[in-house]
Amino acid sequence: MKKVYLVGYMGCGKSAIGKRLSFVTKMPYYDMDKEIVKKMGMPIPKIFEKYGELRFREMETEFLRSFRDESCIIATGGGVPMRRENREIMRKTGLVFFLNAPFRDIWRRISTDKNRPIVQRSTRAELEFLFNERKPHYLKTAHFKVETEFRSLRDITDYIAFQIGRLKGEK
């Protein structure tokens, strides 16, 4: 069985939905950011500080190239679909869902977060610019665009679980 990848901007709900989806589908769940943190033994802001963003981006690609061959749910980092190789690996090895949220909602969720180095170093306008720059890449990576505005985590999770089940021929 294929992997299920959740892609989208910081704060769109990849981790929150990934965990719930794992519960509903009984597929194991992995958070790419957490896997990299575990491997490196330091938090993401520290990885950026010590090795630089480019090396972090290499680590993301390395994760996609080598992560275990099992059916699972993966919440990806917000910058992952920006690289062509990453997009190709995800589309080839799984089903990709883009969680689309308006920037307004995103900003409300991420503006006070200390664990996202890109948020730490950017203004609101810069983050909105990056959001608009990334959106086409999320769209071209994804097999499904999932609208999240005004929808509960449960509702979004059930929709994705339904699509996974449908494609597995269960429903």
Ligand X SMILES: Nc1ncnc2c1ncn2[C@@H]1O[C@H](COP(=O)(O)OP(=O)(O)OP(=O)(O)O)[C@@H](O)[C@H]1O
Detail the residues annotated as belonging to a binding site: 11-16, 33, 57, 78, 116, 134, 151
Closest distance of CB 97 from ligand SKM, Å: 16
Q: CA-to-CA distance for 81 and 84, rounded, in angstroms? A: 7
* 153 interacts with, out of ligand X, ligand SKM, Mg ion, none, CB within 5 to 8 A per kind: ligand X
Sequence-distant (6+) residues with CB within 8 A of 29 are: 18, 19, 21, 22, 72, 73, 74, 75
Long-range contacts of 163-167 (CB under 8 A, 24+ apart): 163/95, 163/97, 164/4, 164/21, 164/25, 164/95, 165/25, 167/95
Considering only residues 10-69, where is the footprint of ligand SKM by CB under 6 A? 10, 33, 44
Nearest to 10 by CA among 90, 114, 95: 114
The verdict on 15 binding ligand X (CB under 6 A) reads yes
Nearer to ligand X, 123 or 152 (CB): 152
Q: CA-to-CA distance for 101 and 109, rounded, in angstroms? A: 11
* 81 interacts with, out of ligand SKM, ligand X, Mg ion, none, CB within 5 to 8 A per kind: none
- Tell me the Cα Rg of the chain: 15
The verdict on 79 binding ligand SKM (CB under 6 A) reads yes
Residues composing the chain: 171
The verdict on 15 binding Mg ion (CB under 5 A) reads yes
Nearer to ligand SKM, 102 or 158 (CB): 102
Of 17-25, 86-94, 100-108, 116-124, which part binds ligand SKM (CB under 6 A)?
A: 116-124
The verdict on 40 binding ligand X (CB under 6 A) reads no
The verdict on 117 binding ligand SKM (CB under 6 A) reads yes
Question: What phi, psi does 6 have (nearest 5°)?
Answer: -105, 125
Task: Give the binding site for ligand SKM (CB under 6 A).
Answer: 10, 33, 44, 77-79, 116-118
